[in-house]
Amino acid sequence: MSAQHHTDAGADLRRDIHTTLLPGFAGTTAPDWLLARLRGGLGGVCVFGPNIVDAAQLLALNASLRDANPLAVVAIDEEGGDVTRLFYDRGAPYPGNAVLGRLDETELTERVAHEVGRALAATGCTVTFAPDIDVNSNPDNPVIGVRSFGADPELVARHTSAWVRGVQSTGVAASAKHFPGHGDTATDSHLALPVVDVSLETLRERELVPFRAAIAAGTRTIMTSHILLPQLDAEHPATLSSRILQGLLRGELGFEGVIVSDALDMKGASGVHGIPEAAVLALAAGCDLLCIGSDNSDAQLDEIVAAVEGAVAAGRLPAARIREAASRVRSLSADEPSIPAAVAVVEPAHDAEELTAFAASFEVSDAARTRLASASRIGTVVRVDTVANIAVGVAPWGPFASSLVEGVPEWFEDAAVVRVADGSPLDQVADLAGPVLVVGKDLHRHPFAVDAIERLRAGRDDVVTVDMGWPSNDRAYADVSTFGASRLIGSALLSFVGSALAPETAGVA
């Protein structure tokens, strides 16, 4: 074999390795190193909230990426709810999955997903890492919660089908996640490795039901989860497990599209091995496109490429597996929509009737209704700021997002707002002007929030708690449960409270 053949084979392998990689980057314009790698065959880029200023800037950014590599995947985490990137500065104008599941109107779900897809296509994005189709069977789940359509596998499945159909009707590829299911966890895989000790039969009856529906609906990609399922593979998390990806997803479920890893910078994937070795193991297990993280560097990609080349040379990773993965990514890219000439993102507008319809999904206790109906105003709004998981990030949420963009009702404008966070002196909540509306997310999971609510409730009966996350089963700290904290649901909450108070307090400033 000639030296030239060796050289060509090495160059082809390196290009194929690059095609399997999907890094993120820092900044709002593509750095030179990233553009150079795209010209060399890099599979694509994952865009995050800090990369985005506005729709016009995102379109220009994505055009520069696709100019460097016309087949580049431009991926984004736009779930259309609490997890939003396109609206990271002001919160999403969509309801989110849990609200859609509670309303249980699949035509609405498909329409919302179509709106999300249109907005993404208008900015040049080609893949959205959505929908989240985990069955949220654990109310203490710190990373899924309202990102899920619900706790019923069949309900989640029918809304999965609708969401996939809706978004892919715009040309944007869906990515059903997180295979084989992240709903029964109490650990955040960004920070550690969750363990789900259930049988394959339980998975088939619960977690896998929505994934079968996603595949039947034609989802172009499926994203893995960094969770350990010891009854299937006691050594490797799903992202790194050939038994789960090749045996279960490819074999039993028959998925033929692109398998995307969840971000390899998460501790659930690379906490033990480091990112380069995690990349090797993920490719060997069956992943085709490796999401690396949100702030990657040229040097980091050098390390990953070198690790994969070394694994191929050592016989640990067949070159044919790399070629197969790269071929799938290129096939996905070949069908991507072209970059539009001009941005045309139109946010959906929602009138009072629509806000009322979304508020119909809220769960409201009789005590909350009575307290609000007997009040002529809200004296204090207590904003409980819990630390959001990394997937949600620091995007504005709930009524506080609404107040950044839209006019707010007089009752909200006139109320005093007190912020409470972990480490806040809780004596500030002892003597607040009432009635008091407490607004937070996943309140039962945060001891400081529980303490603040119990102090507020002591000796007074004019406190109404609003949980905009996934409440505990006993609803102990959720007089009102909204099952979502997008900007749209924040507006629906403002409308609901205003209508529940005396009519003269419901006006908009």
Name the CA radius of gyration of the chain, rounded. 24
For residues 475 and 431, give the distance between their C-alpha atoms in angstroms, rounded to a whole number.
Answer: 25
Of 262, 265, 288, 467, which residue is the catalytic one?
Answer: 262
DSSP for 76-88 reads: E---SSSS-STTT
Tell me which residue of 484, 462, 458 sits closest to 471, measured CA to CA: 484
Tokens found for residue 426: 């809780």
Of 114, 159, 182, 190, which residue is the catalytic one?
Answer: 190
For 132, the 3-state DSSP assignment is strand
In this structure, what DSSP letter does residue 221 have? E
For residues 443 and 449, give the distance between their C-alpha atoms in angstroms, rounded to a whole number.
Answer: 6
For 96, the 3-state DSSP assignment is coil
Separation in Å, CA 158 to CA 164, 216, 268: 10, 11, 29
Tokens found for residue 30: 């593509």
Tally of residues, the chain: 509
**∠ at Cα 47 (52, 292), nearest 5°?**
145
Peptide bond into 409 cis (omega under 30): no
In this structure, what DSSP letter does residue 505 have? G
Q: What is the H or E stretch that residue 261 is in?
A: strand 258-261
**∠ at Cα 285 (281, 288), nearest 5°?**
95
Please state, as a whole number, how many other Cβ atoms lie within 10 Å of the Cβ of residue 414. 13
Tokens found for residue 249: 């997803």
| Secondary structure E strands in 309-429 | 363-364, 380-385, 416-421
Catalytic residue list contains 6: no
Residues 6+ apart with CB under 8 A from 54: 89
Decide: 262 and 239 in contact? Cβ < 8 Å: yes
Catalytic residue list contains 67: no
Give the catalytic positions in this structure: 190, 262
